[in-house]
Amino acid sequence: MLNYYRYKEVYELFLKGKPDEAKHLLMDLQSRYIEVCDENNVLKSQVQEFEDILYLSKNLVYDGSYYWLITGNIKQGPFCSACYNRDGILIRLHDDGEARKCYNCGTQYERDNAVAAAQGVEKSAAPQRLAKVIPLYK
Ligand SMILES: [Zn+2]
């Protein structure tokens, strides 16, 4: 932990004519400061990721076929349920009037019954995830 008294000690060492000791202590403090800044940046990005996940959990809805993101009064989407369930990513579906297709995984959703039919991609046997997995250690 950085503190005021360690910096004051550097100042006093310079005043006492001990520049080598002051420089050594100052280098140590700089090194610790850099470590704290790096840790702070990591923590900020983790907080941002948690905020994003919280936002999605509050505003992402599944209608049985697609995911929709509600932002204010706007309903954005539809998003590919296969991509979100497998990878936790939101890919907007392309609508050609007859079907909705995901350009990421190739899944095609028929508009009539809105049942997903995988084309060119085999369905994964992996269990569906309901939330984004956050690694605890990087
Ligand atoms: Zn997809």
Q: What percent of the chain has pLDDT over 90?
A: 66
Q: Provide the pLDDT for residue 129.
A: 52
What single letter denotes the amino acid at residue 104?
Answer: N
Q: How far is the CA of 112 from the centre of ligand 1 (A)?
A: 19
Q: What φ, ψ does residue 16 adopt, rounded to 5°?
A: -80, 0
The whole-chain average pLDDT of the chain stands at 84
Q: How far is the CA of 65 from the centre of ligand 1 (A)?
A: 12
Asked if residues 110 and 123 have their Cβ atoms less than 8 Å apart, the reply is: no
> Per-residue pLDDT for 1 more than 90?
no
> Per-residue pLDDT for 121 more than 70?
no
Any idea where the domains of the chain sit in the sequence? 4-51, 63-117
Q: How far is the CA of 114 from the centre of ligand 1 (A)?
A: 14
Q: Provide the pLDDT for residue 137.
A: 56
Neighbours of 23 (CB within 10 A): 13
Q: What kind and span of H or E run contains 12?
A: helix 4-15
Cα torsion through 124, 130, 131, 136, rounded to 10: -70
> Per-residue pLDDT for 68 more than 70?
yes
Mean pLDDT of 71-87: 93
Q: Provide the pLDDT for residue 134.
A: 57
Q: How far is the CA of 41 from the centre of ligand 1 (A)?
A: 32
> Per-residue pLDDT for 117 more than 60?
no
Q: How far is the CA of 46 from the centre of ligand 1 (A)?
A: 26
